[in-house]
């Protein structure tokens, strides 16, 4: 048995809040995951609002209107299924197959092309449409908007968004479903970057979903049993509790074969204090395939903020579906990972995987008939199979309510114990305001837990730099890893027996649409991600081909600096210099290898080479007119002067910001190595560009004789060229034998 308390993310300006809830000691391995979380304020539906490329509200060239609704579409819901809130329709010919032939395009000043059109299904309270993409050029953007609600604009949806389902799941008939749009008309704007791109765009709209329900508004609908108007015995959630768990519960709308349905779902907390992952639990009879998971729209804070107060004004819609992680019929569960970040100020519900005690007080939070969020309280009468009597061993918890009830639309909603720990999700039942004593059955979380334990409890496997891991993964399943880095790393997926994909994300687990690196390659080629920023990375390997795919995953250090890859010519010398403590780079994790070394920097390098990395020079007294005692390198410069390695660049001047030439560096290095009194032997004329009469010829040739330099190439030394930081690394390592 494991137990996790809820966690919430909230923001105050410049304030990091730490929450720590202590577990009862009777629970083994129980730890709090209420770590550092930011706190945000709630935002309204405009949280997702974007602007259209052009204002088409007054001038839409193509408007497609469907015929009136056939009577057979107004049939009642079938018992035992999710609450139906919409049905599928097809747009009329000739638009069904070749809608692109009828689009009217405008040219933008940038050369881009843009078009818009609308589709109307009379008397719909909201709509969404399916898009099947055949070819779509890079740079394409689609936006969806409502004519009845100018606040509702979603997008841009890019090429990656529109083809991701077909690409990742390899389903020829996989569709992209638009967001749910308010009103009987949905507007579509399409932008392409050029005329040539416009000619390559090929798509069709095989289906729309006509919703007889408005997910954002409470209306007295005249069809289908007053959808959105739940029974009078239901209780507004804020009349009964202020527990944060209520903010983990959302209403969802999803689409199967054009028909749209509604259920309730819950964000669950996990045991990884470094992450903030939107695990989303609902019922399998609501969502049980990736195709359906892709269509999910979720609605947050659809509740009255005070008991029986005004209707909400802060409803937030999320539109990008989720990835199906695990599903099972026995306890009727589905665990998803949302592709969108959840809205600000949501909670992640805590849970308890122990068996729920018989006669325990339980609480339900849900959206009956799609209504505002409601609260129910009752008693756990015992374990039973779905629809059956208590036998003490069944797969479900049988619940009888004493306050409130459930209805269609409550499916998938959470069952909480009196501590508001998640204990199961609603499968179904007979409870209603008219039948208050009829039971409901919730799938037991203690039986579901083993199927999702690796996600919400065990978490990703922690891996180490320099190691290689050999694993296997099944189709559409994932293996996950976690690594903390403070220097650049390379993640490589290789030795694939067949196709799999690599996803990497900083600070959170990657999803199909949320990642920092995804080097998409067909078939069994190597996939590589280079990690440069410090932090915690999450790595996912996802199987694509049928059956088991074996693979290897390696984690290879790339060096201490982001701008010095392992194949850089001076990589080893720079790493050695860094390890010796003589330099920590030029800032922000970089070394700046091609930047010229200044005389001030050179003073620090040489003195650390002479005295050691932990040396601190005495305070400056003001030897040079152009180096004040407050100058950042004044102490080092004056120490170099005291050691008689330099007397400056001219009378009483040091020229601290002047670049050091290769000739000057030869003198500095040899004096630092052999002492101030050292005099090199006479030059013999080794380099073509350094005559024996050149002022530093003796020093340059001695530097060559000691193997510290071989010149700049082609028999030359390039004495007047500035010394780069990479060259300086080589010179220092060789001179001081680091």
Mean pLDDT of 238-264: 94
Mean pLDDT of 373-385: 97
* Residue of 145 and 16 predicted with greater confidence: 145
Q: Give the pLDDT confidence score for residue 173 in this predicted structure.
A: 53
For the stretch 265-287, pLDDT in tens is 999 998 876 667 899 999 999 99
Residue 21 has pLDDT above 60, yes or no: no
Query: What are the structural domain ranges in the chain?
Result: 48-211, 460-557, 571-735
For the stretch 462-493, pLDDT in tens is 999 888 999 999 887 788 999 998 878 889 99
Residue 519 has pLDDT above 90, yes or no: no
Six-digit token pair at 70? Answer: 């056939």
pLDDT band at 26 (very low <50, low <70, confident <90, very high): very low
Q: Give the pLDDT confidence score for residue 35 in this predicted structure.
A: 26
Q: Give the pLDDT confidence score for residue 223 in this predicted structure.
A: 35
Q: Give the pLDDT confidence score for residue 546 in this predicted structure.
A: 87
Per-residue three-class SS string for 11-41: CECCECEECCCCCCCCCCCCCCCCCEECECC
Q: Give the pLDDT confidence score for residue 380 in this predicted structure.
A: 98
Distance separating the N- and C-terminal Cα atoms of the chain: 55
Residue 58 has pLDDT above 60, yes or no: no
Residue 641 has pLDDT above 60, yes or no: yes
Mean pLDDT of 56-69: 79
| Lowest-confidence segment of 149-158, 246-255, 701-710 by average pLDDT | 149-158
| Lowest-confidence segment of 22-36, 79-93, 293-307, 657-671 by average pLDDT | 22-36
C-alpha closest to that of 320 among 343, 299, 289, 296: 296
Mean pLDDT of 297-324: 88
Q: Give the pLDDT confidence score for residue 175 in this predicted structure.
A: 78
Residue 4 has pLDDT above 50, yes or no: yes
Q: Is the pTM above the cut of 0.85?
A: no
pLDDT band at 523 (very low <50, low <70, confident <90, very high): low
* Average pLDDT in the chain: 84
Residue 658 Cα distances to 600, 607, 649, angstroms: 8, 18, 9
* CA gap 180, 149 in Å, rounded: 12
Mean pLDDT of 59-67: 87
Q: Give the pLDDT confidence score for residue 599 in this predicted structure.
A: 92
Q: Find the length of the chain.
A: 738
Mean pLDDT of 552-570: 86
Share of the chain above pLDDT 70, in %: 86
Peptide bond into 94 cis (omega under 30): yes
Query: Is 654 buried (19+), middle (13-18) or exposed (0-12) by CB count in 10 A?
Result: buried
Q: Give the pLDDT confidence score for residue 219 in this predicted structure.
A: 45
118-143: string of b/e by CB count within 10 Å (b at 16+)? Answer: bbbbeebbbbbbbbbbeebbeebbbb
* CA gap 546, 499 in Å, rounded: 9
* CA gap 527, 535 in Å, rounded: 21
CA contacts within 13 A on the Cβ side of 586: 18
Six-digit token pair at 194? Answer: 């050029």
C-alpha closest to that of 186 among 143, 124, 127, 131: 127
pLDDT band at 232 (very low <50, low <70, confident <90, very high): very high
Mean pLDDT of 514-521: 82
Residue 672 has pLDDT above 80, yes or no: yes
Mean pLDDT of 677-700: 92
| Lowest-confidence segment of 250-254, 283-287, 570-574 by average pLDDT | 570-574
Q: Give the pLDDT confidence score for residue 482 in this predicted structure.
A: 92
| Lowest-confidence segment of 77-86, 257-266, 512-521 by average pLDDT | 77-86
CB 208 within 8 A of CB 119: yes
Count H helices and E strands in the chain, helices first: 10, 39
pLDDT band at 3 (very low <50, low <70, confident <90, very high): low
| Lowest-confidence segment of 51-60, 116-125, 321-330, 514-523 by average pLDDT | 51-60
**For 705, phi and psi rounded to 5 degrees?**
-60, -30
**Which CATH number is 460-557 given?**
2.60.120.680
Residue 47 has pLDDT above 50, yes or no: no
pLDDT band at 697 (very low <50, low <70, confident <90, very high): very high
* Residue of 29 and 639 predicted with greater confidence: 639
Mean pLDDT of 443-452: 94
* Residue of 94 and 223 predicted with greater confidence: 94
* Residue of 175 and 630 predicted with greater confidence: 630
Q: Give the pLDDT confidence score for residue 8 in this predicted structure.
A: 60
For the stretch 535-556, pLDDT in tens is 999 999 988 888 999 999 999 8
At 155 the three-state DSSP class reads: strand
Q: Identify which of 209-213, 246-250, 495-499 has the greatest average pLDDT.
A: 246-250
Residue recorded with tokens 């028909």: 259
Q: Give the pLDDT confidence score for residue 135 in this predicted structure.
A: 87
Q: Give the pLDDT confidence score for residue 216 in this predicted structure.
A: 72
* CA gap 412, 402 in Å, rounded: 20
Q: Give the pLDDT confidence score for residue 7 in this predicted structure.
A: 62
């Amino acid at each position: 048995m494991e137990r996790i308390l809820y966690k919430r993310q909230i923001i105050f300006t410049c304030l990091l809040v730490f929450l720590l809830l202590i577990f009862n000691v009777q629970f083994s391995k129980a730890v709090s995951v209420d770590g550092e979380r930011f706190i945000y304020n709630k935002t309204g539906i405009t949280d997702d609002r974007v602007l259209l490329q052009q204002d088409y509200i007054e001038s839409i060239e193509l408007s497609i209107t469907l015929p009136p609704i056939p009577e057979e579409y107004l049939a009642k819901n079938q018992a035992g299924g999710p609450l139906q809130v919409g049905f599928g329709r097809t747009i009329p010919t000739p638009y069904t197959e070749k809608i692109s032939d009828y689009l009217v395009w405008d040219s933008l000043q940038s050369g881009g092309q843009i078009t818009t059109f609308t589709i109307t299904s009379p008397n719909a309270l909201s709509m969404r449409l399916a898009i099947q993409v055949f070819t779509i050029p890079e740079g394409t953007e689609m936006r969806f908007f409502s004519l009845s609600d100018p606040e509702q604009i979603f997008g841009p949806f890019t090429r990656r968004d529109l083809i991701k389902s077909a690409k990742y799941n390899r389903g020829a008939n996989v569709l992209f479903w638009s967001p749910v749009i308010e009103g009987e008309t949905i507007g579509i704007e399409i932008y392409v970057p050029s005329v040539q791109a416009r000619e390559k765009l090929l798509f069709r709209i095989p289906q729309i979903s006509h919703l007889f329900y408005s997910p954002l508004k409470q209306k007295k609908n005249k069809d289908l049993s007053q959808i959105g108007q739940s029974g009078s015995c239901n209780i507004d959630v804020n009349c009964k509790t202020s527990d944060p768990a209520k903010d983990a519960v959302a209403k969802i709308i999803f689409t199967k074969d054009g028909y749209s349905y509604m259920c309730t779902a819950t964000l669950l907390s996990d045991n990884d204090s470094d992450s903030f992952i939107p695990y989303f639990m609902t019922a399998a009879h609501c969502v049980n395939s990736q195709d359906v998971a892709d269509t999910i729209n979720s609605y947050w804070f659809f509740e009255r903020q005070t008991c029986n107060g005004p209707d909400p004004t802060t409803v937030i819609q999320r539109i990008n579906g989720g990835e199906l992680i695990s599903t099972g019929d026995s306890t009727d569960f589905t665990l998803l990972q949302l592709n969108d970040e959840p809205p600000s100020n949501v909670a992640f519900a805590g849970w308890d995987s122990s068996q729920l005690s018989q006669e325990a007080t339980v609480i339900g939070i849900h959206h009956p008939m799609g209504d505002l969020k409601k609260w129910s309280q009752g008693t756990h009468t015992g374990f039973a199979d779905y629809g059956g009597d208590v036998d003490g061993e069944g797969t479900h918890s049988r619940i009888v309510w004493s306050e409130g009830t459930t209805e269609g639309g409550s499916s998938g909603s959470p069952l909480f114990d009196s501590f508001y720990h998640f204990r199961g999700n609603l499968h179904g039942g007979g409870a209603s305001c008219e039948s208050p004593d009829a039971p409901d059955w919730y799938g037991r979380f203690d039986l579901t837990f083993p199927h999702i334990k690796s996600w919400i409890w065990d978490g990703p496997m922690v891996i180490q730099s320099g190691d290689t891991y050999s694993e296997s993964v099944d189709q559409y399943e994932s293996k996950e890893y976690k690594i903390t880095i403070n220097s650049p790393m390379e993640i490589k997926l290789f030795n694939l027996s067949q196709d799999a994909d690599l996803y990497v994300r900083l600070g959170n687990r990657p999803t199909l649409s949320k990642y920092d690196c995804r080097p998409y390659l067909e078939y069994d080629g190597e996939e590589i991600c280079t990690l440069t920023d410090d932090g915690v990375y999450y790595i996912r390997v996802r199987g694509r081909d049928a059956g088991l795919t074996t693979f290897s995953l390696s984690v290879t250090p790339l060096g201490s600096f982001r701008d010095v890859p392992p194949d850089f010519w001076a990589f080893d010398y720079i790493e050695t210099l860094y390890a010796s403590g003589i330099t920590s780079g030029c800032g922000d994790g970089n070394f700046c290898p091609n930047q010229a070394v200044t005389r001030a920097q050179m003073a620090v390098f040489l003195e650390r080479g002479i005295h050691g990395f932990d040396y601190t020079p005495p305070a400056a007294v003001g030897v040079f007119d152009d180096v004040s005692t407050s100058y950042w390198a004044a102490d080092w410069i004056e120490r170099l002067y005291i050691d008689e390695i330099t007397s400056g660049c001219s009378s009483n001047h040091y020229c601290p910001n002047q670049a050091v030439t290769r000739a000057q560096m030869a003198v500095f290095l040899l004096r630092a190595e052999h002492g101030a009194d050292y005099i090199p032997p006479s030059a013999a004329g080794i380099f073509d560009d350094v005559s024996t009469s050149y002022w530093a010829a003796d020093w340059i040739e001695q530097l060559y004789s000691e193997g510290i330099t071989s010149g700049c190439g082609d028999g030359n030394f390039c004495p007047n060229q500035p010394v780069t930081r990479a060259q300086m690394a080589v010179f220092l390592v060789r001179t001081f034998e680091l």
